[in-house]
Structure 1
Amino acid sequence: MASWSAIARRARVPLGFVFAILYFWLAQPTVKSILIGTTLVILGLMIRAVASGQLQKNQQLATEGPYAYTRNPLYLGSLILSVGFALAARSWWIVGGILLLFFAIYLPVIRAEEVFLRERFPQFEDYARRVPRLFPRVSADRNSGAFSWDLYWKHREYNATLGAAAMLVALVAKMLRWP
């Protein structure tokens, strides 16, 4: 039988689509909620972009840039942009759904990824002792490292920006009661 983390890893994208449908059904946006939420969405996207531009998946352990503050800046960025969408939608049901999805899906995936990283990179254990799992430390563990647009494009992080923009446009359309 598959572990919960394996199930969570496979389920996170399809569940995201189901959640998006529920999101638009439950959303009650206003101009103010969209502006406040969009600020956090942009912050989350920026964190994800910078993290993606530093990550060389399965080649070397990422410990610089945002990875010097948190071991999981991509998930932190996703959490922040999700909270931004919840604020934009102005629905406590959505806030609850985001928190439920994050703790039921993303935390097990993070743990499973850490098992892989421990096996792949012997230095991960020391890194894990110095740098927090999710919520960042105030000062960096190391130098900032260099951002690479090539890595950003390779990891197709632009899809997060396109998806976020589409969701925000749909939210504005709902607010305006269109179509």
Structure 2
Amino acid sequence: MIPRGDDPGDPTFRAQRLRLVWLLAIPFLLLSEPSPPRLIVGFLISVPGLFLRAYAAGSIHKEKELARGGPYRHLRHPLYLGSFFLGLGFSIAGGRWWFPFLYAGLFFWLYGRTIRAEERRLYALYGVEFGSYRDSVPAFFPRRKSAPPVPETEGFRFRLFRRNREWQAGVGALVGFGLLFLRMYLMG
């Protein structure tokens, strides 16, 4: 394994990114004005993000092989795209018109750095194999024609989903929407 160094792909940076999310959750909840329609729309936007994250997490064997199966046939960063929709749903459910704009700005700032560092690291790990993959598979917006199937890495594996601890995103989403619902009820 190639050391990650001091970059956005580094585990410390990821931990700091997660801390930032939790730190921002407090003012988000205090400033939020959820309503039934906003909660429903936000939830409906978040759920596909959760499913995409789950599918991607069950299709990636981190640090062992270049992910090219499952959703990785169609886009290079399905976990991040899923995260985007998950967070966008929360920002809409929060009920303030400016939440989605603030969220999108923070997301692209943080994840833009993360993606650039991750792609440099993947190129260092996998070389030409990653270069070819990067050239044939778009980062976020799938093309009509996906990359050719890779049988040995194809599909969802529940053990990878568990190993990658993706269930935590689902629990976090339930807690988050539960808190927004409680906030709406208390505002009453």
Settle same-fold status: TM greater than 0.5. Answer: yes
| 2:135 corresponds to | 129
Aligned to 1:17: 22
Q: Tell me the residue number matched to 2:125.
A: 120
Q: Aligned residue for 2:146? A: 140
Unaligned runs of 5+ in 2: 1-5
| Alpha-carbon distance, 1:84 to partner | 0.8
CA distance in 1, matches of 2:100, 2:27: 12
Describe the shift of the 1:135–1:26 C-alpha distance in structure 2 as closer, same or farther (beyond 3 A).
Answer: farther
> What is the match of residue 169 of structure 1?
178
Moved more, 26-35 or 139-148: 139-148
Which of 74, 93, 101 is the equivalent residue of 1:88?
A: 93
Q: Relative to structure 1, is the Cα distance of residues 8 and 103 closer, same or farther in structure 2, using a 3 angstrom cutoff?
A: farther
Query: What is the rounded CA distance, in whole Å, between the counterparts of 1:104 and 1:71 in structure 2?
Result: 18
CA–CA distance in 1 between the matches of 2:16 and 2:109?
11
1:39-83 Cα shifts (integer Å, max 9, x gaps): 111100000000000000011100111001110000000001111
- Report the secondary structure of 2:186's partner residue: coil
Which of 66, 69, 72 pairs up with 2:74?
Answer: 69
Out of 155, 161, 170, the residue aligned to residue 152 of structure 1 is 161
Q: What is the CA distance between 1:135 and its match in structure 2?
A: 2.5
Q: 1:139 to 1:40 in 2, by over 3 A?
A: farther
- The alpha-carbon distance between structure 1 residues 8 and 71, as it changes in their structure 2 partners (threshold 3 A), is same
Q: Does residue 1:32 correspond to 2:37, yes or no?
A: yes
What is the letter of the counterpart of residue 117 of structure 1? L
Give me the identity figure in percent: 33
Three-state SS of the structure 2 residue aligned to 1:62 is coil
Task: Measure how far apart 1:148 and its partner are.
Answer: 0.4
Given that residues 83 and 95 in structure 1 are in contact (C-alpha distance below 8 angstroms), is that contact kept between their aligned partners in structure 2? yes
4+ aligned runs moved over 4 Å, structure 1: 2-8
The TM-score normalised by the length of structure 2 is: 0.87
Q: Across the two proteins, how many residue pairs are aligned to each other?
A: 178
CA distance in 2, matches of 1:121, 1:151: 20
Shift of the alpha carbon at 1:136?
2.5
Structure 1 CA distance for aligned equivalents of residues 145 and 54 of structure 2: 20
CA contact (8 A) 1:9 1:105 kept: no
Flag structure 1 segments of 5+ consecutive residues without an equivalent.
none
Q: Could you report, residue by residue, the CA deviation over 1:5-50 in whole angstroms, capped at 9, with x for unpaired residues?
A: 7685453111111121121122111111111111111100000000
Is the 8 Å Cα contact of residues 61 and 67 (structure 2) preserved in structure 1? yes
Letter in 1 for 2:143: R
The CA distance in 1 between the partners of 2:155 and 2:43, in whole Å, is: 27
